[in-house]
Amino acid sequence: MFTFDNSYARLPDRFYTAMAPTPVSDPQLVILNDALAAEMGVDAALLRDGADVFAGNRIPDGAAPLAQLYAGHQFGGWSPQLGDGRAILLGEHVVAGQRWDVQLKGSGPTPYSRMGDGRAALGPVLREYILSEAMHALGVPTTRALAVTLTGDTVLRQEGPRPGAVLTRVAASHIRVGTFQVFAAREDEDALRQLLDHAIARHAPDAEGPMGLLRHVMAAQARLVARWMGLGFIHGVMNTDNMTISGETIDYGPCAFQEGYHPARVFSSIDTQGRYAWQNQPDIALWNLAQLATALLPLMGPREAAVEEATEVLDGFRDLYAAEWADVISAKIGVGDVRLGMELLDIMSEVEADFTNTFRALTTAPDTIPAGLADNPRMKDWHARWLAAAPDAGVMQTANPAIIPRNHRVEEAIQAGYAGDFAPFRKLTEVLQDPWHETTDNAAYRAPATPEQAVTRTFCGT
Ligand code: AMP
Ligand code: MG
């Protein structure tokens, strides 16, 4: 089924708990991602018969199942032990030199479950499938979704009993900032060094030592966060355990793509302080990277000099990010002028203009002021100056999608799924595979939510 080579399992025992997923009552495959299966060079026909594997009832050949240990700062507060509380890494599938973690999420309790049941409800699993695959189609590094499988068991959530499901998640790795943090906090220098070597081999073969890895992760995260920002995406839980070393987006909990744009927008019901608001994301990325640097300090030689150098390296993040953001916003307006782009965002925020549709309207009908902004005097002035700068429509086409996963559409797919109808979920995932063109098929998915449809809060769904 897979060609596993399990390098993480070869790390010392204290990096994880070797264990199998907990079997479920009645595995039923809801969806298999054929395109991803093809990319991974695995036989989709074989996988289609693999509900028992995806539900955790059968361990495929070559797997070395385990739950990973990590820690993290959650909303700024330190949690000394987190870990895979509801996930099992089956193994690392290797083809043509590429290595993918294959992980089951919602696969039962582990020693890291704390108060949780180790399970996932169908809704959040569908949500992660939709959003992570949309993110990939939008060209942003992300963990992928290979399959959704119903377990036949019920999970209890605040909203009531829900059907349980397992997401088969595929990632470059599941190494997080929090993976380094847990060993730093335990003053386990030997483990830190082995994790460093492992992470460098996997993600940054050219990086030299801890400072090299730090620089590499900084660049990857600057690039990632700038791309989120350019899509109006709000991650929602940028805790250090939800920031990867690979630079892939991970953890589609309370995330959302903004519709009506406001820089201080927050969706997550638990983010009461707005810590992870859209506009704060670059600063939070830096904060998290500072935690990574702190964790790596013991490997950086004499402490005083190491602190000085790490601080200097971290200081470089603002420029790294500014360069990435300049690329993103310049492409979005088709003009290499960051200030002009920022001015547009400011005007948009006055009326909370639809983020996606405003940029798309400028792309497809540059001579016309986008709907919702026509009455804005600043917009008229901006528009004239922008046209005078001769925007490059071809560049804009590659930066401004026609569709994003709108929250009410995601919600609609989830609710239908709960009622046993997966057609809206399938349709939504299908149209989101080509976000760059207006088609008759995706017309209905381009419309912003009406006030009645609008989703203003999202939940972690744990
Ligand atoms: P998250 O909010 O998904 O980033 O998860 C934070 C921590 O809580 C991780 O250690 C998860 O494994 C754990 N967790 C989340 N949901 C559950 C659950 N239903 N059962 C056990 N652990 C969970
Ligand atoms: Mg997480």
Element holding 179 (H helix, E strand): helix 177-185
Does residue 192 lie in a domain region? no
For residue 112, tell me if it sits in a domain: yes
Q: Is residue 31 part of a domain?
A: yes
pLDDT given for residue 461 in this prediction:
61
Q: Catalytic site residues?
A: 241
Amino acid 186: pLDDT: 98
Report CA(461)–ligand 2 centroid distance (Å): 11
Q: Is residue 322 a part of any domain in this protein?
A: no
What's the Cα-to-Cα distance from 386 to each of 99, 368, 382, rounded to whole Å? 44, 12, 6
- What is the SS3 assignment for 153? strand
The answer to the question of residue 101 being in a domain is: yes
Cβ(242) – ligand 1 distance below 6 Å: yes
Domains contained in the chain, number = 1
Ligand 1 contact, 460 CB (< 6 A):
yes
Q: Is the pTM value of this prediction over 0.85? A: yes
pLDDT bracket for residue 189 (50, 70, 90):
very high
Is the pLDDT confidence value at 451 over 90? no
Ligand 2 centroid to 169 CA: how many Å?
13
CA distance 207 to 258: 36
Residue 428, beta-bridge partner list = none
The verdict on residue 408 lying in a domain is no
Ligand nearest to the CA of 157: 1
Q: Give φ, ψ of 254 to 5 degrees.
A: -90, 25
Copy the structure tokens of residue 367.
Answer: 């001579």
The answer to whether the CB of 315 falls within 8 A of the CB of 201 is: no
Quick check: helix, strand or coil at residue 276? coil
Q: What is the largest CA-CA distance in the chain?
A: 65
* pLDDT tens readout for residues 296-341: 999 999 999 999 999 999 999 999 999 999 999 999 999 999 999 9
Q: What domain range is 23 assigned to?
A: 8-171
323, 227 contact by CB (below 8 A): no
Is residue 184 one of the residues assigned to a domain?
no
Q: Residues for the chain: how many in total?
A: 462
Establish whether residue 118 lines the binding site of ligand 1, counting it when its CB lies within 6 angstroms of any ligand atom: yes
Q: Which pLDDT value is given to residue 24?
A: 98
Structure tokens at 382: 């901006």
The per-residue pLDDT for range 239-287, each reduced to its tens digit, is: 999 999 999 999 999 999 999 999 999 999 999 999 999 999 999 999 9
Q: Does some domain include residue 253?
A: no
Q: What share of the chain is helix, strand, coil (3-state, %, to 5)?
A: 45, 15, 40
Give the closest ligand to the alpha carbon of residue 124. 1
